[in-house]
Amino acid sequence: MKVLHICNDFAGSKVHVNLTKQLDDKDIGQVVYCPVRDKQLVGKNKFDGKHIEFIYSFCIKSWYKYAYHYKAFKLYKDLKRNVDLSSVNIIHAHTLFSDGVLAYKAHKEFGLPYVVAVRNTDVNDYIRLMRHCYHTGREILLNAEKVFFISAALKKKFEESKFVEPILEKVKHKFVLQPNGIDDYWHEHISHDERKGHDVLYVGDFSANKNVVRLAEAILELRKEDGFNDVRLKIVGGEVKGGGRRNDGKTQSMIDAYPDAIMALGKIYDKDILSEVMHSCSVFAMPSIYETFGLVYLEALSQNLPVIYTNGQGIDGLFDDTVGIGVNPLSVEDIKDAIKIILQNNSKYGNKNVHFEDFDWSEIAGKYIGMYKDIITK
């Protein structure tokens, strides 16, 4: 069996690396086709495998985002030029609109079966802003064998969209909820120790979507209340210096203005050190505006950190309410109240009801293989 992965974000996400590595370990033949718009991304995340070939193509122009159908036409020509489609048994498209359209075209021309994943960009960019892509998107769904969602919240939002409404009854039997996994390190270091103290942790970048400014404002508001004047926010990651899209200066200004309340620890790549930081905190908070899944929530939960997440996004609906509290990301008061409730009732929250085996990449790869085989042999 040979799987063709069409994945425009392979160079930008370790998630795809983890899946393809596990499939390679299980002796599944694979080709990864990764079109990129930045030449520096060519070869990024490539690894030495036994049964895998990587094809990076520097073929995406910046203006293609304004010409969806032309982009699909050009990338499909590039795909056929670089990949021997006659050697492929099944295609796994890792986004609905960008990758799925290429799988759909290969299906129509060569009869290749394909599965497709729905991501945050599909729901919050294409469906929300690009109605001219609706017809093609629906054709992709109608012809796909399976449609994967990595979170219950994303699946629910997709099912309620005007985009899928006309064909929902025809395609919903294809929908599969399949969350991503976390690195083996976190499985090997699961902790059930109760956390104490008033430190709150955030791990991520400073993009506006991550909502760090409102989180910091919630910390400052909570410090005004009796018994909580020692609450601190520890920030791992981000772009502490400079400007641009990922840091408009607001987060850095707050770090500079309130050093006793907000601690910027910089980027931490060593998981042992990151685990120590997690153990020094009592709550993990990431109230993103949009979040497809958010593996860092699971990493925090593996260390028994209760989590504050966004209602209707990411891990919402995946666990019961013992893991933490969902909030309105636009409400500083809501974020503040959630932090306060968890700090006051820390023993009630944590990972006691989380089945971490559901997030093991080896198990997840096995499920994908089973589905691939069922589709190919039917």
For a pLDDT cut of 70, what percent of the chain falls above it?
97
Q: Would you tell me how many other CB atoms lie within 10 Å of the CB of residue 34?
A: 25
Residues 197 and 72 in one domain: no
Residue 229 near residue 223, CB atoms below 8 Å:
yes
Name every residue whose Cβ is closer than 8 Å to that of residue 81 and which is 6 or more positions away in sequence.
Answer: none
Q: What is the CATH number of the domain that holds 228?
A: 3.40.50.2000
For residue 259, how far is the Cα from the chain centroid? 31
> What are residue 52's DSSP bridge partners?
30
Domain that holds residue 45: 2-181+360-377
Does residue 242 share a domain with residue 367? no
pLDDT digits (tens, 9 = 90+) for 46-63: 999 999 999 999 988 888
Q: Do 173 and 196 lie in a common domain?
A: no
Q: Which amino acid is at 79?
A: L
Is this prediction's pTM over 0.85? yes
In the numeric block, which tokens belong to residue 284? 């993990």
Q: How many CB atoms lie within 10 A of CB 270?
A: 8
Domain count, the chain: 2
Same domain, 329 and 286: yes
State whether 276 and 337 are in the same domain. Answer: yes
- Work out the pLDDT band at 247, boundaries 50, 70, 90: low
The single-letter DSSP state of residue 53 is: E
Q: Distance between CA 352 and CA 304 in Å, rounded?
A: 8
Distances in Å between the alpha carbon of 267 and those of 19, 21, 297? 25, 25, 17
- Which strand (E) or helix (H) includes residue 68? helix 68-82
Contact yes or no for 198/225 (Cβ under 8 A): no
Residue with token string 């400052």: 220
**Strands (E) located in 193-285:** 199-204, 232-237, 262-266, 283-285
pLDDT for residue 252? 81
211 and 322, same structural domain? yes
161 and 193 co-located in one domain: no
Residue 248 has a pLDDT of: 54
> Are both 55 and 139 inside the same structural domain?
yes
3-state helix, strand, coil in the chain (%, to 5): 45, 15, 35
pLDDT at 210: 92
Q: Where are the beta strands (DSSP E) in the chain?
A: 2-6, 29-36, 52-58, 90-93, 114-118, 146-149, 175-177, 199-204, 232-237, 262-266, 283-285, 307-310, 324-327
Q: How confident is the model at residue 365 (pLDDT cuts 50, 70, 90)?
A: very high
**Sheet of strand 146-149: strand arrangement:** 52-58, 29-36, 2-6, 90-93, 114-118, 146-149, 175-177
Which tokens in the block code for residue 247?
């840091």
Q: Which long-range contacts (CB under 8 A, 24 or more apart) does 11-15 make?
A: 11/36, 11/41, 11/42, 11/43, 11/44, 11/45, 11/56, 12/41, 12/44, 13/45, 14/45, 15/180, 15/295
| Domain co-membership, 162 together with 29 | yes
Pair (119, 206) in one structural domain: no
Are residue 119 and residue 261 in the same domain, yes or no?
A: no
Report DSSP state, residue 36: E
Which pLDDT tens digit goes with each residue over 182-223?
999 999 999 999 888 899 999 998 888 899 999 999 999 999
Is residue 345 located within the same domain as residue 215? Answer: yes
Nearest-CA neighbor of 339 among 236, 194, 211, 216? 216
Query: Looking at per-residue confidence, does 194 or 145 come out higher?
Result: 145
Question: Is the pLDDT higher at 206 or at 25?
Answer: 25
Residue 240: pLDDT above 60?
Answer: no
pLDDT for the residue numbered 334: 97
Q: Angle at the Cα of 325 (from 321 to 327), degrees rounded to 5?
A: 135
What residue type is 176 in one-letter code? V
**Amino acid at residue number 214:** R
